[in-house]
């Protein structure tokens, strides 16, 4: 929707600046998409006078003109058909920018003759699309004057209209909103009836198939003896400013009222209409050549206006070419009607016609303004074209749109969150055209105006008050708090979930949110897919089962990313996995996968494939973040979807598993179309015990002043003995002195068996002893070493390596 500032001020008396008006429009919900000032792009152009024009010696359609400009006489070559001596024109001189053709003028040579400028058309100045000749100015315009001083222009404002605001498709409606905001006073002229000078000979009929809904109201008027021709300059300028091309006075009047009052109209050449006008549904197979000179075929669903010869107009969309008005038109029929919005939208969509009339009718114009719109059009036609108007012919009646809703001013304040006095609410509603009246218990009964089809309840009334009062005035207020220290709102497991999510993200993972439903094949790969996990009514075949873990969704996401060229990934998710279909048969899991390499390509060798040690480090970091005990042990026992030799579980004792990590099994990766290497981890957050103490402080760091002692031990064991068994036995030898035990060497394979016997291997461990009370003596060290050797030999059956 476009309009000029001066146009707006014909409806709104205001001292507000352009910036204040545009800010208020956006704040009211009429978003300003742009403001353009033609004066800025036309400021360089001046008035010139053609004093001589001769045919170009080398071109039939060009003339060599002598033009008096602000810089004296200039030779300008022009190809416009109306270029001639004695006319005042708009001149662009070398160095001036022409916006309509995006060119900066230079001194040029055309067919051997130099040209020192250009005489402009309306299209070249972006005033309209007219390009059939140069602009001719009145004879009394002084040579050398700026064009913008001769024909002043004002800023053009363009706003976006949401489909629920048809009232804002007229300048008068926009002014109404601004007046309610307090930016001025409405001065829209009152509409006076134009009495007919004689009885109307015009006959109009509404067919039964349209009278109840498609077109319940039709107003027509015959005006004789009009003189059609170019419209007045003020009307042409107004239409050009918003991008419309002036056509003739009669047509320009209908276009003007469409934008000024949101009242689409149509004029027929009465001498081309045969018999009465009938509003009916089209007959299948009928056609019409419309004003856009295209022929449209009807299927029987369209509302049309027809005479005895056939269809003359598409109701609410576009008129026909045969009965259109020309300069020879003497008698006209003016039509103002109300067409059903839904049928109009369907007709325009099916016929692929976009017109200003359709744009308004399909959003819902004011049915009560139909007859008033006819009076406005009649007065403008009589004033600008002359003629004699007959009585108005009316068929049907305007639909009854009267309705009212109860509004509680106190509830408006509570919903909006802003103190708006009752009197101010009443003022706003009255300014917008509503009729608030006092009702019971301090409430209001608010009548809705006919031009607001979008207001359908109390909530809409609240919105009207809020948008005019301006939501920019809202102030942030903290919620009321109870006295004392506020109790925590998150449960311990919710806090643990947040801690895990934050830690994994800090490790460089990207979070995924996948469905809890997966296909049966993927579920079977991870120990699920049974009938107890199947949904009775799945969304699709790919979401038929509850997921037994988070790995299927993460691997599917990795496969999709790899298919799009992203090979190195780190993805995680925190959510529920399901072990059965009954309540409680689920657990909270934090899972992540790494695919590809540890980083981008590195010419210095820093890039390597991910491995199980990356997954282990990530899992241990997550478990530490959620408070898992540091004494957690690692052992074998990962399920079959993990690599059997490159995976492990972390547990508290032999039964409680709090995490699993390792490489994914190659068959699982192949089944899910994931290109390896791929490693992952899963932390079972609910299995980690919560701290018994509820205090927020940590234990004091205990440091010893005495030197620690390290001793190495190597044991010969059966090849099937795991290193964890050796570590566990060594730690238990003396818990008071032994601070740390770690493996630093494993010697196994053919060479080891050759030295130590078949089926044997060697594991070397480092033990750090940390005294607390006194420095250890050699005797104490030997005693602890003997305990370590004895504990390991007893637990594993191994012997100390010589």
pLDDT digits (tens, 9 = 90+) for 282-338: 999 999 999 999 999 999 999 999 999 999 999 999 999 999 999 999 999 999 999
Q: How many helices (H) and strands (E) does the chain have?
A: 22, 42
Residue 199 falls inside a structural domain: no
- Confidence at residue 697, expressed as pLDDT on a 0 to 100 scale: 65
d(CA 703, CA 284): 97
CB-neighbour burial class of residue 780 (10 A; exposed 0-12, middle 13-18, buried 19+):
middle
643 and 506 in a common domain: yes
The length of the chain, given as a count of residues? 802
Under 8 Å between Cβ of 276 and 309: no
d(CA 124, CA 80): 13
Task: Choose among 214, 46, 246: nearest CA to 146.
Answer: 46
Under 8 Å between Cβ of 226 and 387: yes
d(CA 262, CA 242): 15
CATH number of residue 29's parent domain: 3.30.56.10
Exposure on the CB side of residue 467, measured as CA atoms within 13 A: 19
Residue 694 falls inside a structural domain: no
666 and 525 in a common domain: yes
The crossing angle, in degrees rounded to 10, of helices 18-27 and 171-181 is: 90
- Confidence at residue 206, expressed as pLDDT on a 0 to 100 scale: 96
CATH number of residue 794's parent domain: 3.30.70.380
The structure tokens listed for 520 are: 């049966």
d(CA 17, CA 25): 12
550 and 595 in a common domain: yes
664 and 558 in a common domain: yes
CATH number of residue 299's parent domain: 3.50.40.10
Residue 698 falls inside a structural domain: no
The structure tokens listed for 742 are: 């770690």
Q: How far is CA 412 from CA 420, 440, 465, 730, in A?
A: 8, 16, 8, 74
251 and 303 in a common domain: yes
Which residues in the chain come in under a pLDDT of 70? 601-606, 631-632, 693-698
The structure tokens listed for 118 are: 């250009």
CB-neighbour burial class of residue 313 (10 A; exposed 0-12, middle 13-18, buried 19+):
buried
Q: Residue 458's Cα: distance from chain center in Å? A: 28
Task: Choose among 174, 143, 181, 44: nearest CA to 99.
Answer: 44
Task: Choose among 357, 374, 318, 328: nearest CA to 202.
Answer: 374
d(CA 98, CA 513): 55
614 and 543 in a common domain: yes
On the question of a cis peptide bond just before residue 677, with omega within 30 degrees of 0, the verdict is yes
d(CA 90, CA 150): 10
The structure tokens listed for 321 are: 């070419």
Q: Give me the number of domains the chain comprises.
A: 6
The structure tokens listed for 342 are: 């839904």
Q: How far is CA 489 from CA 220, 588, 691, in A?
A: 69, 19, 19
- Confidence at residue 605, expressed as pLDDT on a 0 to 100 scale: 62
Under 8 Å between Cβ of 266 and 318: no
Instruction: Please identify, among 633, 654, 687, the residue that sits at the C-terminal boundary of a domain.
Output: 687
139 and 160 in a common domain: no
29 and 44 in a common domain: no
d(CA 622, CA 797): 35
pTM of the model: 0.60
Helix, strand and coil percent figures for the chain, each rounded to 5: 30, 25, 45
Determine phi and psi for 204, rounding to 5 degrees.
-130, 135
Task: Choose among 522, 549, 519: nearest CA to 534.
Answer: 519
- Confidence at residue 225, expressed as pLDDT on a 0 to 100 scale: 95
Residue 193 falls inside a structural domain: no
Under 8 Å between Cβ of 661 and 641: no
CATH number of residue 83's parent domain: 2.40.50.140
Residue 180 falls inside a structural domain: yes
Q: Which residues are CB-contacts of 193 (< 8 A; sequence separation ≥ 6)?
A: 375
Residue 480 falls inside a structural domain: no
715 and 623 in a common domain: no
Residue 297 falls inside a structural domain: yes
Under 8 Å between Cβ of 616 and 627: no
Under 8 Å between Cβ of 396 and 211: yes
Under 8 Å between Cβ of 756 and 717: no
The crossing angle, in degrees rounded to 10, of helices 458-469 and 409-416 is: 60
418 and 333 in a common domain: no
Pairing of strands 569-578, 510-511: parallel
- Confidence at residue 631, expressed as pLDDT on a 0 to 100 scale: 65
Residue 195 falls inside a structural domain: no
388 and 336 in a common domain: yes
**Structural domain range at position 562:** 492-687
Tally of CB atoms within 10 A around 129? 14
- Confidence at residue 451, expressed as pLDDT on a 0 to 100 scale: 95
Under 8 Å between Cβ of 184 and 16: yes
735 and 642 in a common domain: no
Tell me the pLDDT tens digit for each residue of 770-788. 998 899 999 999 999 999 9
E strands, 611-677, are 633-635, 642-652, 656-664
Under 8 Å between Cβ of 552 and 544: no
- Confidence at residue 695, expressed as pLDDT on a 0 to 100 scale: 61
Q: How far is CA 533 from CA 514, 527, 686, 687, in A?
A: 17, 11, 21, 22
Under 8 Å between Cβ of 228 and 249: yes
- Confidence at residue 67, expressed as pLDDT on a 0 to 100 scale: 93
d(CA 153, CA 279): 42
Helices (H), 450-526: 458-469, 492-506, 520-525
């Amino acid at each position: 929707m476009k309009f000029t500032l001066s146009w707006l001020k014909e409806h709104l008396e205001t001292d507000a600046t352009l910036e204040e008006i545009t800010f208020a429009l956006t704040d009211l919900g009429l978003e300003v998409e742009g403001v353009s000032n033609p004066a800025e792009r036309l400021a360089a152009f001046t008035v010139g006078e053609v004093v001589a024009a001769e045919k170009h010696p080398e071109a039939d359609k060009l003339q060599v003109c002598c033009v008096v400009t602000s810089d004296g006489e200039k030779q300008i070559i022009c190809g416009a058909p109306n270029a001639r001596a004695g006319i005042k024109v708009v001149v662009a001189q070398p160095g001036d920018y022409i916006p309509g053709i995006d060119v900066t003028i230079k001194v040029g040579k055309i067919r051997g003759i130099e040209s020192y400028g250009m005489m402009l058309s309306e299209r070249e100045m972006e005033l309209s699309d007219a390009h059939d000749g140069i602009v001719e100015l009145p004879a009394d315009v002084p040579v050398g004057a700026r064009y913008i001083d001769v024909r002043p222009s004002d800023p053009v404002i363009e706003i976006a209209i949401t489909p629920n605001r048809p009232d804002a498709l007229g300048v008068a409606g926009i002014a109404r909103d601004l007046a309610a905001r307090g930016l001025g006073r409405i001065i829209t002229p009152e509409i006076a009836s134009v009495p007919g000078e004689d009885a109307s000979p015009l006959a109009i009929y509404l067919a039964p198939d349209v009278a109840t809904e498609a077109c319940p109201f039709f107003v027509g008027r015959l005006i004789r003896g009009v003189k059609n021709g170019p419209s007045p300059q003020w009307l042409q300028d107004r239409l050009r400013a918003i991008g419309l091309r002036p056509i003739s006075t009669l047509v320009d009047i209908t276009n003007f009222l469409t934008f000024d009052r949101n009242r689409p109209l149509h004029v027929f050449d009465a001498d081309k209409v045969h018999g009465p006008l009938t509003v009916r549904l089209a007959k299948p197979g009928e056609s019409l050549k419309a004003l856009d000179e295209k022929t449209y075929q009807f299927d029987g669903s369209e509302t049309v206006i027809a005479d005895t010869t056939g269809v003359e107009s598409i109701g609410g969309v576009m008129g026909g070419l045969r009965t259109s008005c020309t300069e020879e038109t003497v008698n006209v029929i003016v039509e103002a009607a109300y067409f059903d919005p839904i049928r109009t939208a369907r007709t325009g969509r099916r016929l692929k016609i976009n017109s200003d009339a359709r744009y308004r009718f399909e959003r819902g114009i004011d049915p009560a303004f139909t007859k008033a719109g006819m009076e406005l059009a009649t007065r403008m036609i009589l004033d600008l074209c002359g003629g004699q108007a007959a009585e108005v012919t009316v068929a049907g009646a305007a639909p009854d749109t009267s309705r009212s809703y109860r509004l509680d001013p106190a509830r408006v304040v509570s919903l909006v969150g802003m103190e708006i006095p009752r009197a101010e609410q009443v003022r706003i509603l009255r300014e917008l055209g509503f009729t608030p009246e006092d009702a019971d218990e301090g409430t209001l009964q608010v009548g809705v105006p006919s031009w607001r089809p979008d207001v359908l309840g109390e909530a809409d009334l609240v919105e009207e008050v809020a948008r005019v009062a301006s939501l920019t005035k809202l102030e942030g207020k903290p919620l009321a708090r109870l006295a004392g220290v506020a109790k925590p709102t998150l449960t311990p497991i919710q806090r643990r979930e947040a801690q895990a999510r934050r830690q994994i993200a800090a490790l460089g993972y990207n979070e995924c949110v996948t469905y809890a439903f997966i296909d049966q094949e993927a579920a079977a790969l991870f120990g699920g897919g049974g009938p107890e996990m199947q949904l009775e009514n799945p969304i699709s075949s790919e979401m038929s089962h509850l997921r037994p873990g988070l790995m299927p969704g993460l691997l599917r996401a990795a496969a999709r990313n790899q298919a799009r060229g992203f090979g190195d990934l780190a993805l995680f998710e925190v959510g529920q996995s399901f072990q059965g279909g009954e309540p409680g048969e689920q657990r909270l899991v934090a899972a992540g996968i790494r695919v590809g390499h540890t980083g981008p390509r590195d010419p210095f060798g820093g890039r390597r494939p991910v491995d199980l040690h990356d997954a282990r480090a990530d899992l241990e970091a997550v478990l530490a973040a959620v408070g898992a005990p540091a004494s957690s042990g690692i052992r074998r026992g990962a399920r079959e979807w993990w690599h059997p030799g490159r995976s492990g579980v972390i547990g508290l004792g032999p039964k409680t598993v709090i995490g699993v990590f390792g490489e994914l099994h190659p068959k699982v990766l192949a089944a899910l179309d994931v290109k390896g290497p791929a490693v992952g981890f899963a932390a079972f957050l609910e299995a980690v015990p919560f701290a018994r103490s509820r205090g927020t402080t940590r234990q004091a760091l205990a440091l010893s002043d005495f030197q620690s002692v390290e001793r190495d031990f190597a044991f010969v064991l059966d090849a099937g003995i795991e290193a964890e068994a050796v570590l566990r036995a060594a730690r238990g030898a003396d818990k008071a002195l032994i601070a740390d035990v770690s493996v630093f060497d494993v010697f196994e394979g053919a060479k080891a068996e050759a030295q130590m016997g078949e089926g044997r291997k060697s594991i070397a461990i480092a033990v750090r002893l940390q005294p607390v009370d006194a420095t250890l003596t050699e005797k104490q060290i030997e005693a602890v070493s003997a305990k370590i050797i004895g504990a390991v030999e007893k637990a594993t059956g191994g012997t100390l390596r010589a």
